[in-house]
Amino acid sequence: MEQPEETADAPDALDTPDAPDAPEPSDTPDAEPVAPDLPAKRRRGRTVALICAAAVLGLVAGTCTGYLVQADREPTPLPPLSQPVLPQAKGEGPAPLSAAQDRRVKTEGDLRELLLDKPRGAKRTEGSDGWLDLAAYADRFEKPDVAFGELVQDRFRRAAVTGWEVGDDYSVDICLVQYRQEEAASAAEVALEGQYWPEQERHDSWPIPGTGEGRAYVLAEPETEDGYLPLYGAEAHAARGDVVMEIYVYGTKPVPKKMIMSLAERQMERL
């Protein structure tokens, strides 16, 4: 018995529909939400222009009005340039001062000649007769380095010194210091500074006649130290012109007021 022929080969597998491709992930970030349209801002240029134009017109109008007002007024007369002639003094002018009357002539010379003379019987103190330059005068202070700077600032010019001893009782030291006073009255200021310490200590004081603020001082109580005799003292400070006078008296006995006042008055009379 014949077998029927196979009409077609059976498929190996059922055909399935192709699955749709999965969407590829997007590399771009999510889109931002779109903001709603805002109304446009109002432009202010036109308003500013109107204000500026009004200000300019007001300024011009005010200027024109002021000009018209002034134009209708009478001109104000100016004062005359010529001044009345002042009468001049007649006769010769005053005679110039003599060398004895002109203090500047005396102090421009040798300061050593203006120092008081050593009294008779007194002994000249060694090293206290002659000129003192800036360094030598600064050495007379307790702090020479500080004094040196202050003297430079005060415009120190020169100094002359003299001194003597009266027996074993007293020693006298007189110094005239001159300053350059182009910018400040250094002499008067230095004389007042010299009065500072006597004013702080126990001193009796008196004004020196004819010197303004010059004063003389006498130590009320002596300075004492073990092994030494009591030391009494007196001093005087005054200025005239550009010269400062300094007088110091020391002794083993109290210094009389008459002594220091006489020295100060006679020395100032020579300046």
pLDDT digits (tens, 9 = 90+) for 83-129: 777 787 777 777 777 766 677 777 888 899 999 999 988 998 887 77
Mean residue pLDDT of the chain comes to 80
**φ, ψ for residue 239 (rounded to 5)?**
-140, 150
Q: How many Å apart are CA 177 and CA 242, to the nearest integer?
A: 8
Q: What is the pLDDT of residue 96?
A: 77
Q: What is the pLDDT of residue 12?
A: 46
Identity of the residue numbered 38: L
Name the more confident of 155 and 42: 155
CB contact set of 48 (below 8 Å; sequence gap of 6+): none
Q: What is the pTM of this model?
A: 0.63
Q: What is the pLDDT of residues 18-38, one digit of tens each?
A: 544 544 544 444 444 554 554
CATH, domain range 103-269: 3.40.1000
Residue indicated by tokens 């709603």: 36
Q: What is the pLDDT of residues 175-232, one digit of tens each?
A: 999 999 888 888 999 999 999 888 888 789 999 999 999 999 999 888 888 888 889 9
pLDDT at 134 over 80: yes
Q: What is the pLDDT of residue 43?
A: 52
Average pLDDT over residues 67-95: 76
pLDDT at 50 over 50: yes
Q: What is the pLDDT of residue 161?
A: 95
Q: What is the pLDDT of residue 136?
A: 93
pLDDT at 16 over 70: no
